[in-house]
A and B are shown apart, each in its own frame.
Chain A
Amino acid sequence: MELLRPSSVAELDGGVLVHGGTEVVPLLREGLLTADRLVDVRGVVPRGIRDGVVGAGTTLAELEAEPAIPEALREACRLAASPQLRNMGSLGGNLLQATRCWYWRLGYSCRLHGGDRCHARDGEHREHAIFANGFCASAHPSDVAAALVALGARVRTNRRELTIEELYRLPDESDRSTTTLEDGELLLEVELPTVAASVYLKAMDRKRWSFPQVGVAAARHADGSTRLALAGVAPIPWRIEGVEALDEATPLPRTEWKVPLAQALVRRALASLE
């Protein structure tokens, strides 16, 4: 395997991109990713925070400590992973991380891997999705993504600008990916609008170092509107209009418990913005 360290976007030419390595390295080790060429993009992706624009190479540890960052995002960073992982993991990498679905992680030939069934739906799915889980029941693990959806963030890549919601797509029969990124497309920056108030609440199965069972991000925007987004409830970050939306959830037998949990957290999040 060769390791490349380009210093500009122009030098990018294929290979598996890696930043902090907290996701890519384990995936390589497990054989879920294969790479002849590994491309360390730390010299390419901007890092740091200025005027509401965050370099995608900024670490979660840097974000959680920055007072200028909205509370929902800071809290999402603080409650993610462990200090060691937050010191290495980048914002961009966090947004692009794969599901924790054990079937996917163990390489079962599931729909996300191009197969023809969702093993979790018929099998062990107690940590899985309550929305949009008909094709693939995986739950999106990123706290940070939910926070950015609630904040209404915009994303700049080396090819285009898009909303954070446009970065994600539900997998379907013809395309199994959960993001809209194309080959060779690289996240560069995230733009955060100024919000009046924001919050992130997270249910975990232990106090720290746990992916969200349910994460709820809420933000009150300058125009008075409120945006809500959930982590851990659908194959991608899931935006809802209000707590009533949870009445429309389609939980699996062993994910029903997530519905009242999400309802409670949404109510609390909204109340804390009052």
Chain B
Amino acid sequence: MARLIRTEKEVEGRFEEVWIVVEEDPLEQWPEGPLEVVGRPAPRKDGAERVRGEARYTADIRLPGMLHAAVLRSPHAHAKVRRIDFAQALTLPGVRAAVGSGEAHGLEEEAGFAGAPVAAVAADTFAQAQAAVEAIDVEWEELEVVLDADEAVRRELLTEEPRRRERGDVDRAFAEADVVVEATYRTQTVLHNSLETHQAVCEWQGDTLHVYISTQYIWGIRQAVAETLGLPEDKVRVVCEFMGGGFGSKNGPDEYTFVAAELAKRTGRPVRCALTRREENTSAGNRNSTIQRLRAGARSDGTIVALEGEFTNALGWSGWNASTEGPMRMLYDCENVRTVTYGAKVNTPPMKAFRAPGFVEGTFGLECLIDELAARLDVDPLQLRRRNYASSNEGTPFSSKNLEDCYRRAEPHWERRHEVRGRSDTVWKRGVGMASQIWYGGGGPPSYAWVRLGSDGRATVITAMQDIGTGTRTAMAQIAAEELGLPLEHVDVVLGDSARGPYASISAGSSTTPSMGPAVRAAAADAREQVEDIAEQRGLPKGTPLEEIVAVLEESQILGKGARGPNPTGMSVLTFGVHVVEVAVDVETGEVVVERVAAIHDVGRIINPLGASSQVEGGVIQGIGHTLSEERLLDPETGRVLTTSLDAYRMPTIADVPEIVCEFVDRPDEHLTNLGSKGLGEPPIVPIAAAIANAIRDATGADVHELPISREEMLRALREAEARAREKEKRGAPAAV
């Protein structure tokens, strides 16, 4: 039975109040622990297809007669097109059409960053299109460029009003604290650099627009394209069967989609618009840099009494002001917290969501500060975290929270620190650090799935969701197989096409499994109940295998239908975890080697332990890149990106990957859906930077305050620590206060 409810919808930590129609979720949760299929490791159903090169990504789409588009981008960080002339470009070989600002959504007259899209050309080949773009004659009017985020805040160049939050009496709490620590942390701009660049192929068939696109949100693309082009939504078909990564950067359509659609309309041909790797590095979104000025006050027994943070997100020309203050407000039980968050509007490429936006950056600052506090108090960092354990989310109860279980499981890894430190020598200093994780990941309605069952005893799950590379296909098949009592090999999943299945959730905010899984289970249960009905009518005994029951169906089919039920009202659905990291630091050369990561996460029920481990490993590796080597650099004079290739933008290689130990609490959230599963896409990247930094402090005594922890930053921190130690020695002060 469907009902209309008013509810708070959360994606990536952004909330909005919406009306939605939800269906009841009457199924009891399965018992805790591994079942027949769910909870048991399953290799990816499409693994062989992918490694054989048979999987068809958007980048593989080649439609008959397809043209290629290239985009003209602003060379200036801030400029206006005074005059643009396509005449020369249109005479070049192979050129079919050109569009400028006002002709395709996303092409703007005012370029707010170097790399902003201005115009586009379609030609028979991509090289011809590129040549034509170079022949477009543009007269620019250069405008004032602001690159410094602090300057932008001073001048009130902000994307929105500063976000101020306060609870308790912060000033009094700081005045009464026994110990106050403060520090400024800076995090850099990093790029998603998905293996598959942002791209779309658009084709008109009659009045229907077919959009093949590398996306995390098929239905969001359908809605946004329809709205922008003034089409009924059913006249937009969106296809994404395989996807080469998004990490938050492919949640919506961008200029490349509208360029392809418009040029396809003008030429009557399919048009492909794919960003090059260079464009991917200049114009496809980023994790914005931050400046975090933080303060923590505590009593000498380790009780945190006050937290304060001023956060500046250097968002670029556009973007949204992610919750960098979130961890400070949510991770610990502290009565007095004050934060202000600025979204600085500067003339740099716009931010886009990037795997736990805000919380990755904010956790680095907060969890480093907590360890500095632990060092000052001479308290064990794990003990300090336990002492300040939050029992509610600012007064709202948690639907489930097993962070204490994570801490308990972390103990043996944490205990290793004595042995790890003991393996230090004069050059290589070793140490262990930890950091906690908090993030969203509850998903929500609406989401739908169908299950089709034939007389061969095979089931097909049909839903127009996307598998963005996380292994969703396999997890959904496992859920259906479990509910139907079928072997996993007898369940297929059809997804990736808005014309072939019902509405499905975005794959962002760690929401795919918790949003889609319950709908798939409900559809499978609906089918199972129909099967049981048939069995009863045939007088078959309980427990008769499904294949035997449906054998009589012949051409008839069983169609199950399922919907995602509502989230629990009045509860905070959050994910938790802790990382314990072992590092070695070469104190002469500043080299940092991450040797071991123990990642323990509480995300409710685990559907596929193998897929879950892969997620954690991927998050840890991406986090190591963020922590140690990745940084997008700009020319300080022009604001142009300097690191436009994968040799200048340094992602970790497989040789940089440490031993990664994954553990899960694997306890269903009893309040959350028929599965009790939360998402896991983002949690593993949240705590890794702080855990590495804290391990470095444990190993060397040096406080790193900036990401990435390059050799430059590491050597600076070591010099500072040495100077501090010398100063202390001179004063003859005791080692700890």
Chain A residues packing against B (C-beta within 8 Å): 100, 102-103, 105-106, 119, 122-124, 126, 203, 205-211, 213, 254, 257, 260-261, 264-265, 268
Contacts and interface: CB of A to CB of B under 8 A. Distances in A.
A100 B648 contact: yes
Given A213-B711, A261-B715, A124 B635 contact: yes
Closest 3 CB pairs of A and B: A207-B655, A264-B588, A102-B642
Interface in B710-726: 710-712, 715-716
Given A100-B648, A261-B589, A206 B653 contact: yes
Given A105-B648, A205-B650, A206-B655, 8 more contacts: A102-B642, A123-B637, A124-B633, A124-B635, A124-B636, A205-B710, A213-B711, A260-B588
B628 A206 contact: yes
B636 A123 contact: yes
B126 to A, nearest CB: 12
Given A205-B629, A205-B650, A207-B653, A103 B642 contact: yes
A194 B591 CA distance: 33
B590 interface: yes
Contacts of A210: 650
A100 B647 contact: yes
Given A102-B648, A257-B716, A264-B588, A124 B655 contact: no
A205 B653 contact: no
Contacts of B635: 103, 119, 123-124
Contacts of B591: 203
Nearest to B646: A209
Interface in B631-656: 633-637, 640, 642-645, 647-648, 650, 652-653, 655-656
A260 B636 CA distance: 26
B633 A257 contact: no
Interface in B603-642: 628-629, 633-637, 640, 642
Contacts, number: 70
A102 B591 CA distance: 23
Interface of B: 588-591, 628-629, 633-637, 640, 642-645, 647-648, 650, 652-653, 655-656, 710-712, 715-716
Contact of A257 (B629, B640, B712): B712
A208 B647 CA distance: 11
12 contacts: A103-B642, A105-B648, A122-B637, A126-B710, A203-B591, A205-B710, A206-B653, A206-B656, A207-B653, A208-B653, A213-B711, A261-B711
B653 A264 contact: no
Contacts of B655: 206-208
Main secondary structure of the interface of B (DSSP, over half): loop
A257 B715 contact: yes
A251 to B, nearest CB: 11
B653 A124 contact: no
Contacts of B712: 126, 254, 257
Contacts of A207: 653, 655-656
Scoring B628, B634, B644, B653 by chain A CB atoms within 10 A of each residue's CB, the highest score goes to B653
Contacts of A119: 635, 637
A67 B281 CA distance: 41
Nearest to B635: A123
A106 B644 contact: yes
B486 to A, nearest CB: 43
A265 B711 CA distance: 13
Contacts of B589: 203, 261, 264-265
A211 B650 CA distance: 11
Contacts of A257: 590, 711-712, 715-716
Nearest to B624: A206
A123 B636 CA distance: 6
A206 B716 CA distance: 19
Nearest to A261: B589
Contacts of B647: 100, 209, 211
A49 B633 CA distance: 42
Nearest to A119: B635
Contacts of A100: 647-648
A209 to B, nearest CB: 5
Contacts of B648: 100, 102, 105
Nearest to A214: B589
A265 B715 CA distance: 14
A90 B487 CA distance: 54
Contact of A124 (B628, B629, B642, B652): B642
Nearest to A257: B712
Contacts of A265: 589
B590 A261 contact: yes
A117 to B, nearest CB: 11
Nearest to B593: A207
